[in-house]
Chain A
Amino acid sequence: DAMVIQNPRYQVTQFGKPVTLSCSQTLNHNVMYWYQQKSSQAPKLLFHYYDKDFNNEADTPDNFQSRRPNTSFCFLDIRSPGLGDAAMYLCATSRDPGAVEQYFGPGTRLTVT
């Protein structure tokens, strides 16, 4: 009965090689979020979709993009990963926008070599 699914759980990519992380949800929630979490730090919001409306955080680098082809799926694209992009990437959903209760996936651990 998984609700927010992230694939893969572990991803290794090379410096500068584009990589895509995926997230799917079975909750039929309107909002999907992407967070970056580095070791021993708080999750940091990168962007979110409210239905098809994309909302980027002001300090999210242009290197990070996202796509939401339908309600269930959302993708995080890193165009040219740098060593500093190695982190856990968390996908989350909520019924409504804003900061009400969010449901997180297990995360994808990205390693950049």
Chain B
Amino acid sequence: SQKIEQNSEALNIQEGKTATLTCNYTNYSPAYLQWYRQDPGRGPVFLLLIRENEKEKRKERLKVTFDTTLKQSLFHITASQPADSATYLCAPTDAGNMLTFGGGTRLMVKP
């Protein structure tokens, strides 16, 4: 069955460092992959979408890579700030199918 894995342990980093979050998937070939941010008690907010034919995508301090051979996406936040502290959800998705989220990784950026 399809499986999405994100590190369930919180990632703690120091302000100013680069945070790197990992999303691994098995048993399907997503046409694209999305990353969302979720703050406690709030709904997810869309951040970035990367398609299967794209290796890398950037938006301000965010960078996403998509390796269809490794079945993995990496999500980077450079020059991290305490305001970046949140849970980050990945959603690798087959074309035309509904959104399926990974369990998310909680990021804590300490001043």
Chain B interface residue bracket vs A: 20 to 34
Q: How large is the interface on A (under 10, 10 to 19, 20 to 34, 35 or more residues)?
A: 20 to 34
Interchain nearest-CB distance for B16 vs A (Å) = 28
Q: Are B46 and A103 in contact, CB atoms less than 8 angstroms apart? A: yes
* Inter-subunit contact A101/B44 (CB<8 Å): no
In contact, A43 and B101 (Cβ under 8 angstroms): yes
- Bound CA span A37–B49, Å: 22
Q: Which 8 A-B pairs have the closest CB atoms?
A: A104-B43, A99-B93, A42-B101, A99-B99, A101-B46, A98-B96, A42-B103, A90-B43
Q: List 22 A-B contacts (CB under 8 A).
A: A4-B43, A33-B98, A40-B8, A42-B89, A42-B104, A43-B44, A45-B99, A57-B98, A90-B43, A91-B43, A98-B96, A98-B98, A99-B34, A99-B93, A99-B97, A99-B98, A100-B49, A101-B46, A102-B46, A104-B44, A106-B41, A109-B41
B residues contacting A by CB (< 8 A) are 4, 8, 32, 34, 41-46, 49, 89, 91, 93-104
